[in-house]
Amino acid sequence: MISARNKTRLLKTLLICVGLVPFLLLLLATLNDQLGANAIQTLHFSLGDWALRFLMIGLALTPIKIITQQAWPLRYRRILGLLAFFYASLHVLVYVALDLSWSWAAFVDEVPKSPYILVGLLTYLILVPLAMTSTKAMQKRLARRWLTLHKLVYVAALTACLHYLWLVKLDISQPLIYLGLWLVLISIRVYRLKTG
């Protein structure tokens, strides 16, 4: 028999492995030149998609806990948050390194002209301190303030949705689905707070 603690550890490892599958597939596609006509954009958008997906799954854990009345979902919040941060970091890296080719001039030209990039940048700037303070040690050190700080993830998820919504040319169905999901996940929390 595996102990409960070992079981959680195993599931966490499994979650990390599964979470890295999209990255490995994208890496393979990049190396094999299978990203299509606009390779950088395909890579950039896919990484952004995965960052948003993991952010949303992470946000869904507390509602799942509320609904199922079980504590286990909360154990996976850190991993999901860090997976989201991992994909968001690669998303930003692809933009700066490949799309802008590290050109400061291009950055200065493009970013102010694109409200959606500004919102995306803001999202990432929110995620950085959250990832930095994700360790158990930091959690202890910051004590109560840690919880307050990490509430910022709701804001980051919202700005991530707006970032997506703002860049789309015409068909806004995808970003609206994410935005709707965000609303539902937040509503469950708010409802819980009100009813105690």
Partner 1 sequence: MKPTIHTQSNALRAEITDKAVFESRRAFIKSTAMLSAGLMLPSLGQAQAELNDKLTITAREHVTHYTNYYEFSTNKQDATELAKPLITKPWRVEVSGEIEKPGLYHLDDILKANAIEERIYRFRCVEAWSMVVPWLGFPLGEMLARFKPTSRAKFVEFTTLYNPEIMIAQRSTILDWPYVEGLRMDEAMHPLTILATGMYGEDLPNQNGAPLRLIVPWKYGFKSIKAIVKIHFRETLPDTAWHKSAPSEYGFYANVNPEVSHPRWSQSRERVLGASIFTPKRATELFNGYGQQVASLYTGMDLTRSI
Site residues, partner 1 (CB under 8 A): 30, 35-41, 43, 98-99, 101, 103, 106, 109-110, 113-116, 166-167, 169-171
- Do 165 and 175 contact (CB within 8 A), yes or no? yes
Asked whether the CA dihedral 155, 66, 55, 4 is positive or negative, the reply is: positive
- Do 21 and 13 contact (CB within 8 A), yes or no? no
Closest separation between CB of residue 37 and partner 1, Å? 4
Residue among 46 and 82 whose Cβ is closer to partner 1: 46
Q: Strand (E) positions, 29-104?
A: none
Closest separation between CB of residue 126 and partner 1, Å? 22
Residue among 114 and 134 whose Cβ is closer to partner 1: 114
Residue among 29 and 142 whose Cβ is closer to partner 1: 29
- Residues contacting 77, CB < 8 A, separation 6+: 58, 61, 62
Residue among 106 and 125 whose Cβ is closer to partner 1: 106
Give the phi and the psi of residue 48 in degrees, each rounded to 5: -65, -45
Instruction: Please give the angle made by the CA atoms of 186, 58 and 39, to the nearest 5 degrees.
Output: 115
Closest separation between CB of residue 38 and partner 1, Å? 6
Closest separation between CB of residue 74 and partner 1, Å? 37
Residue among 42 and 62 whose Cβ is closer to partner 1: 42
Closest separation between CB of residue 111 and partner 1, Å? 9
